[in-house]
Amino acid sequence: MALGQKTNRLLIKEAHPALDNLKYEIAAELGLPVRQGSEDYWGEIPARQAGAVGGHMVRRMIALAEQALAGGQPLPPAPKQ
């Protein structure tokens, strides 16, 4: 990233708590021993597991966006090539 570029600014302030809630919800689904309120200290969690939380977050957000774009209807599976 070039000097002076600031791309990490909040566009929607309400998104931060919603993303935190999603992060801890997915961590609980994966059985990770973190609790909300630990304020982003996951030092005892291996990077592979912490990365899995991020990957699941992205998958879920993409699915939600696809549903919203499709008018609330799930999209059909993509054809196999």
**Residue 16: CB partners within 8 Å, gap ≥ 6?**
10
Sign of CA dihedral 59, 62, 64, 70: negative
Is residue 5 pLDDT above 50, yes or no? yes
Number of domains in the chain: 1
Would you say residue 3 lies in a domain? no
Q: Is residue 53 part of a domain?
A: yes
Task: Name the token pair of 9.
Answer: 């600014």
Flag whether 6 is in a domain.
no
Question: How far, rounded to the nearest angstrom, does the alpha carbon of residue 55 sit from its chain's CA centroid?
Answer: 7
pTM of the model: 0.67
| Helix ranges restricted to H, the chain | 15-29, 47-69
pLDDT in tens, 16-53: 888 888 999 999 999 988 878 766 678 888 899 989 99
State the residue for tokens 């990490």: 8
Which structural domain, as residue segments, surrounds residue 38?
15-69
Q: What is the pLDDT of residues 51-73, one digit of tens each?
A: 999 999 999 989 988 888 888 66
* Neighbour tally for 21: CB within 10 Å: 11
Decide if 78 is inside a domain.
no
